[in-house]
Chains A and B, each alone.
Chain A
Amino acid sequence: EVQLVQSGAEVKKPGESLKISCKASGYSFTSYWIGWVRQVPGKGLEWMGIIYPDDSEIRYSPSFQGQVTISADTSVNTAYLQWSSLKASDSAIYYCARSGGYCRGGRCYSSGYLQYWGQGTLVAVAS
Chain B
Amino acid sequence: QSALTQPASVSGSPGQSITISCTGTSSDIGGYHYVSWYQQHPGKAPKLIIYDVGKRPSGVSNRFSASKSDNTASLTISGLQAEDEADYYCNSYSNSSSWVFGGGTKVTVL
Contact = CB atoms under 8 A, between A and B. Distances in A.
A89 B91 CA distance: 23
Interface string A98-110: 0010000000000
Interface in B89-109: 89, 91-93, 96-104
Interface residues of B, number: 27
Interface of A: 35, 37, 44-47, 49-50, 59-63, 95, 97, 100, 111-115, 117-120
Interface of B: 1, 3, 34, 36, 38, 40, 45-48, 51-52, 57, 87, 89, 91-93, 96-104
Contacts, number: 73
B3 A117 contact: no
B51 A45 contact: no
Given A59-B97, A60-B98, A62-B98, A114 B46 contact: yes
Contacts of B89: 44-45
Given A44-B89, A59-B98, A113 B52 contact: yes
